[in-house]
Chains A and B, each alone.
Chain A
Amino acid sequence: MTPLLNSGVGVTSPKVASMSGKPLLTLSNVGKVYSTGVVALRDVNLTIEEGEFLSLLGPSGCGKSTLLRIIAGLGGTTGGSLSWNDGATRNMRREIGFVFQDATLMPWATVFKNVLLPLKLRGMSKAEATPRVERAIEQVGLSGFANAYPREPSGGMRMRVSVARALVAEPKILLMDEPFASLDEITRFRLNDDLLRLWAGQDWTVVFVTHSVFESVYLSSRVVVMNTSPGSVFGTVNVDAPYPRLEDYRTSTTYNEYCRAVSTKLSETMKS
């Protein structure tokens, strides 16, 4: 078991071509204290590497969503620092895609217009944006639903629209806050596979917040287990299983071993 458990960072997975091992974002001693006095995060040290699929796993209230919002620039820190590899702070923001736990669509706009939103905000012309929007809708498997309103498709489809909206802006880093938590397991499995397929075809980095051990092991190249009250990084598990991970990975021994390793780490956080 020991080789799987690795508290350090920076162990690269050579199985993924797009993973370079170069740091994209480094968080040093990041802390967050809310105005109510609640300490959400304390001394979070984490390096996110270019092209990796990183999961943040932890019990409720460990501040994983708060951390994601800080990375997105939606919430400030009360300590520590974030540094992007290219030194950019403001320009990076436009290259961030964010997928919320609920689909967060505009109910009054069609699927097409929802996906168009990020491009429209950039001031891109309709003629230039249309093929990109159509491609994003096609990528998430929703061709033919462009003119539907968000209340019409199912929950899984709404989440696909939300992913398409994040894709259309061609993000460098995709932040996902428990995106599939409210979906049934079968739909979630399918979306997991589609997400991996999309990730393989692009050079994004994904930071994926989840409280499912199985989902984190299935998807990610690295699982960061977080500790609660105050939230901090407890340990890291590198999931060195090769991509593409297909349906048989879910039933493989490797998968089971990684699940056990992550579960063990998680239960250690409860005891500590």
Chain B
Amino acid sequence: MNEKRGITIRNVAKGPGPLRNFMARIGAPVLVGLGFLTIWEVLVRIAEVPHYILPGPLLIIKTLITDWHTLFPSLMVTLSITLSALFVATVAGVGVAVLFAQSRMVERTLFPYTVMLQVTPIVAIAPLIIIWVKDIQLSLLICAWIVAFFPIISNTTLGLNSTNHNLLDLLQLYGASRRQIFWYVRLPSALPYFLGGLRISGGLALIGAVVAEFVAGTGGNQSGLAFRILESSYTLQIPRMFAALFLITFSGVLIYIATTLIAHFALHRWHESAVRRES
């Protein structure tokens, strides 16, 4: 019994326990959020702001529930475009980065064009893409893909070129083939960089999808959250607009959490970014 108590005390003295750790990581931001929402609700009520200017959080939640039958299908449309675009961007981005890593010449020749793709505002080319591509969903996907593509290419390329030179020398010394060098050393070295790119691209794919939807402005049952926002603004259904906005932000946060978790599971055994620092 005594021994057991000794261990407990040592753990407490050693550093933050699991509860304190949880409070710091999840509890604190949640508390700040709840405080902000409370102040918002109270201010809206005291100042009697009309709900077509600024609805309170409670009304937004109520709208979210009552309009769920229209908002949920739209959420699914936006999410499916975002995730498909992210998937294609990942596959194509890694593919192009691997191609770049094969030779400096290829990289130097093609890299400027990927930069052009990145720096051209998607709003400016979305109308063209929507005109050229008959299928509206496909055109939205292409727009979201263009935005999400670049961080994966540039990060993965950087990662593939960041292999420890001594390690490359070592493999050369043991007579490793190009393929072995690539699979055993270059690809694992690039993993943390790729995952960093994926995290950025996840958010960008959502932004790309929403922006393109705004430009397309399509109605009907195939429309995503951006169209719900447009529609609500025309009809001054501001609480619904906020509800749709909330769903977009919520999706973005979910994508961020998912990509962060993927990175954590892939790297927590070895990479500095994911390993807990000893105090």
Q: Which of the residues B167, B175, B176 comes within 8 Å of A106, measured between beta carbons?
A: B167
Q: What is the CA–CA distance of A222 and B269 in the complex, to the nearest angstrom?
A: 43
Contact status of A149 and B175, CB under 8 A, knowing A106-B188, A108-B191, A117-B184: no
Q: Which of the residues B164, B167, B169, B171 comes within 8 Å of A121, measured between beta carbons?
A: B171
Q: What is the CA–CA distance of A72 and B172 in the complex, to the nearest angstrom?
A: 10
Contact status of A151 and B275, CB under 8 A, knowing A74-B169, A108-B191: yes
Complex contacts, B270 vs chain A, CB 8 Å: 107-108, 149-151
Complex contacts, A151 vs chain B, CB 8 Å: 270, 272, 275
Report B265 CB to chain A, min CB distance, Å: 13
Complex contacts, A150 vs chain B, CB 8 Å: 270
Report B193 CB to chain A, min CB distance, Å: 13
Binding site for B on A (CB under 8 A): 69, 72-74, 93-94, 96, 98, 100, 102, 104, 106-109, 117-118, 120-122, 149-151, 169
Q: What is the CA–CA distance of A118 and B180 in the complex, to the nearest angstrom?
A: 11
Q: Which residue of B lies closest to A107 (CB)?
A: B270
Interface on chain A toward B: helix, strand, loop, or mixed SS? loop
Binding site for A on B (CB under 8 A): 164, 166-167, 169-176, 180, 184-185, 188, 191, 269-272, 275
Q: Is the CB of A121 within 8 A of B180?
A: yes
Report A225 CB to chain B, min CB distance, Å: 26
Report A104 CB to chain B, min CB distance, Å: 4
Q: Which residue of A lies closest to B192 (CB)?
A: A108
Complex contacts, A109 vs chain B, CB 8 Å: 188
Given A94-B175, A107-B271, 8 further pairs, Cβ under 8 A: A69-B169, A93-B173, A104-B167, A106-B185, A107-B270, A108-B270, A121-B175, A151-B275
Complex contacts, B167 vs chain A, CB 8 Å: 104, 106
Q: What is the CA–CA distance of A169 and B176 in the complex, to the nearest angstrom?
A: 14
Q: Is the CB of B184 within 8 A of A96?
A: no
Report B163 CB to chain A, min CB distance, Å: 10
Q: Is the CB of B188 within 8 A of A98?
A: no
Complex contacts, B191 vs chain A, CB 8 Å: 108
Q: Is the CB of B275 within 8 A of A108?
A: no
Complex contacts, A106 vs chain B, CB 8 Å: 167, 184-185, 188
Complex contacts, B171 vs chain A, CB 8 Å: 121
Q: Which residue of B lies closest to A98 (CB)?
A: B173
